Amino acid sequence: MLLNCLLRRRCARLSALLVALAAAPWAHATSPAAHPAAPASPLARSSMPSAASAAEADSDAEDSGNLSASARRIYDFGRPRLLQVRTLLRDQDSQASVGSGSLVGADGLILTNYHVVSQVALEPQRYRLNFQTVDGVTGALQLIAFDVVHDLALVRMAKPPAAVSTRGIFEFRPASTPLAQGERIFSLGNPLDVGFAVVEGTYNGLVERSFLPQILFSGSLNPGMSGGPVLDDKGHIVGVNVATRRDGQQISFLVPAEFAQALIARGANARPITASVEAEMSRQLLQHQQQLTTRFVALPWRETKHAHYSVPVPQEDFMRCWGSSNPSESKGLSFERSDCQMDTAIFINESLRTGDMAVRHEVYDGSKLGALRFAEEAGQSFRNEGMGRRTRDLTAPKCQEDFVESDGLPMRTVMCLRAYRRLPGLYDVAVLSQSVDAKTEGVQGRFDARGVSFENAMLLATHYLKGFAWKRSP
């Protein structure tokens, strides 16, 4: 069997298929709102406050005044160095998207997010870049470098205004003085294209269980602030606005300053990018997927408590796993489900995210159904799994189905590959597997990895399938 060969490393048939997949023509075709003030509490309206509460109120008012004064000072400092970065249609001044940026070089060098300039990076024949300062100075921008993995980009003023050097530049907080948990920091940007603003927030360290380092910022970021600087109380950059969670309140994320400094170090003197960015983007993504794959396969699968099956459940070093089940009194198929996935993915364009993994499984008990109905429902569950379709970014999936055996457990397995049409050497891989050993019970699992090399797609598929096993009685 083809996938049996994969498990036993006798892969002549598999290799032939995958070489054919890689050589096929489709494989490398080029084709954050202001919040109203909270209502005053009853205690705050008390007409006879105690001496202690009055002292506390005075202290709070003093702290609030200090914070507001800090925000004003930071905004006044950052104002001449803050810009709006606009993506305009090539042949007219209508804007397609807006973001923010910070002046980091006296020659007009500006730091922003990759996703702010992605349309120009990928379709320069349709779009162009423009900047506008807080005081209304405008001009053209040129893309000179990017870090797609950490969502950063460098642009430069095509014709820097004569007074640009007098504006000053943002400097970075020294690595020797790291921020303390709970320290106040200040985000700058142009939210929703309504005007430049400063947002006070709190530094909460790095996000836990994230493969890509990101700062957790307690502050409200809004669209249009992407790419803007986040400053400490001395006006030094500590991070770059990048994202926010829409299912929470004041849960926002920043790119740590170290990655921006690294990009500036290698790209500040680069010439404007005039050719296709796909080759450089592929190089960066291939480097990322190698690091991710190496770490993932080095981690052992977690122990599962099912009586009959060992199931591949990943460690939560850079994934989060959530479980669910149907009510025990259910009259039909009983199941327990686990979903594990990475919180971060890499932005390529509005329709494509990549560079992440997901693992899930369901354990079924069909003893209330009987063998025939269980077989029907299990088969339907397998057939309901979608493997994607052809898009402008990805080819249609090429799939192979076979029956494999993993440590005594026979399984029906499908493996699918989809190639990136404009990013050569990258694939999405999906592996779907379902046990076929028992009449009224079973397990079904799925593994997905986006943006991996051909070789690592095979390595990951093998690693996943080897996580299944039949538990032998002691």
Establish if 204 belongs to a structural domain: yes
Asked if residue 5 has pLDDT above 60, the reply is no
245 and 392 fall within a common domain: no
Q: What is the pLDDT of residues 354-388, one digit of tens each?
A: 999 999 999 999 988 999 999 998 899 999 999 99
- Of 275, 294, 319, the residue at which a domain comes to its end is 275
The DSSP 8-state label assigned to residue 172 in this structure reads: B
Establish if 49 belongs to a structural domain: no
Question: Bridge partners of 404?
Answer: 411
Query: Which has more pLDDT, 69 or 6?
Result: 69
382 and 427 fall within a common domain: yes
Here the CATH number for the domain that contains residue 122 is 2.40.10.120
* Whole-number pLDDT of residue 136: 92
Band (331; pLDDT cuts 50, 70, 90): confident
Establish if 38 belongs to a structural domain: no
Sign of dihedral through CA atoms 159, 165, 168, 170? positive
354 and 247 fall within a common domain: no
193 and 242 fall within a common domain: yes
Round to whole Å and give the CA distance between 378 and 153: 48
Mean pLDDT to the nearest integer, 71-82? 94
User: Between the CA of residue 300 and those of 45, 188, 295, 356, 466, what are the distances in Å?
Assistant: 58, 43, 10, 18, 11
* Whole-number pLDDT of residue 249: 83
Q: What is the pLDDT of residues 49-69, one digit of tens each?
A: 333 333 343 444 444 445 578
Establish if 141 belongs to a structural domain: yes
Sign of dihedral through CA atoms 317, 252, 232, 117? positive
What's the maximum distance between 2 C-alpha atoms anywhere in the chain?
86
Mean pLDDT to the nearest integer, 188-192? 95
Element (H, E) at 87: strand 82-89
**Lowest model confidence (mean pLDDT) among 99-108, 159-168, 328-337:** 328-337
* Whole-number pLDDT of residue 44: 29
C-alpha radius of gyration, the chain, whole number: 27
Band (246; pLDDT cuts 50, 70, 90): confident
457 and 334 fall within a common domain: yes
* Whole-number pLDDT of residue 410: 94
Count H helices, E strands: the chain?
8, 23
* Whole-number pLDDT of residue 8: 46
* Whole-number pLDDT of residue 236: 98
Establish if 37 belongs to a structural domain: no
Q: What is the pLDDT of residues 137-154, one digit of tens each?
A: 999 999 999 999 999 999
Q: What is the pLDDT of residues 111-138, one digit of tens each?
A: 999 999 999 999 999 999 999 999 999 9
Query: Which is it for strands 109-112 and 95-105: parallel, antiparallel or unpaired?
Result: antiparallel
Per-residue b or e along 250-260, where b marks 16 or more CB atoms closer than 10 Å to that residue's CB: bbbbbbbbebb
Round to whole Å and give the CA distance between 45 and 302: 55
Band (407; pLDDT cuts 50, 70, 90): confident
Give the DSSP per-residue string, 42-77. Answer: TGGG-SS--HHHHHHHHHHHHHHHHHHHHHHHHHHH
Sign of dihedral through CA atoms 445, 449, 450, 456? negative
- Of 275, 305, 321, the residue at which a domain comes to its end is 275
289 and 244 fall within a common domain: no
CB within 8 Å of 333: residues ≥ 6 apart: 326, 364, 365, 366, 368, 369, 374, 377
218 and 359 fall within a common domain: no
- Of 275, 297, 331, the residue at which a domain comes to its end is 275
Establish if 211 belongs to a structural domain: yes
Round to whole Å and give the CA distance between 447 and 431: 5
Band (171; pLDDT cuts 50, 70, 90): very high
Establish if 45 belongs to a structural domain: no
Establish if 39 belongs to a structural domain: no
The DSSP 8-state label assigned to residue 191 in this structure reads: G
Q: Which candidate, 171, 172, 225, places its Cα nearest to that of 201?
A: 225
Within 10 angstroms of residue 190's Cβ, the number of other Cβ atoms is 27
271 and 291 fall within a common domain: no
* Whole-number pLDDT of residue 18: 43
Mean pLDDT to the nearest integer, 87-112? 95
Q: Which amino acid is at 346?
A: I
333 and 410 fall within a common domain: yes
For 189, the 3-state DSSP assignment is strand
User: Between the CA of residue 149 and those of 187, 254, 275, 347, 462, what are the distances in Å?
Assistant: 22, 14, 20, 8, 26
User: Between the CA of residue 62 and those of 50, 70, 426, what are the distances in Å?
Assistant: 18, 12, 56
For 168, the 3-state DSSP assignment is coil
Asked if residue 42 has pLDDT above 60, the reply is no
333 and 307 fall within a common domain: yes
Asked if residue 304 has pLDDT above 90, the reply is no
Asked if residue 23 has pLDDT above 70, the reply is no
Band (201; pLDDT cuts 50, 70, 90): very high
Query: Which has more pLDDT, 162 or 345?
Result: 345
Q: Which two tokens stand for residue 122?
A: 């990928």
115 and 197 fall within a common domain: yes
Q: What is the pLDDT of residues 216-241, one digit of tens each?
A: 999 999 999 999 999 999 999 999 99
**Lowest model confidence (mean pLDDT) among 68-72, 176-180, 357-361:** 68-72
Mean pLDDT to the nearest integer, 168-191? 96
- Percent of the chain surpassing pLDDT 90: 74
213 and 348 fall within a common domain: no
Q: What is the pLDDT of residues 262-296, one digit of tens each?
A: 999 999 999 999 888 999 999 999 999 999 999 99
CB within 8 Å of 54: residues ≥ 6 apart: none
* Whole-number pLDDT of residue 456: 98
Report how many domains make up the chain. 2
Mean pLDDT to the nearest integer, 299-308? 88
Q: Which amino acid is at 360?
A: R
- Residue-number span of the structural domain to which 373 is assigned: 2-29+282-470
* Whole-number pLDDT of residue 61: 43
Mean pLDDT, the chain, integer: 86
SS3 sequence of 379-431: HHHHHCCCCCCCCCCECCCEEEEEEEEECCEEEEEEEEEEEECCCCCCEEEEE
Mean pLDDT to the nearest integer, 35-48? 29
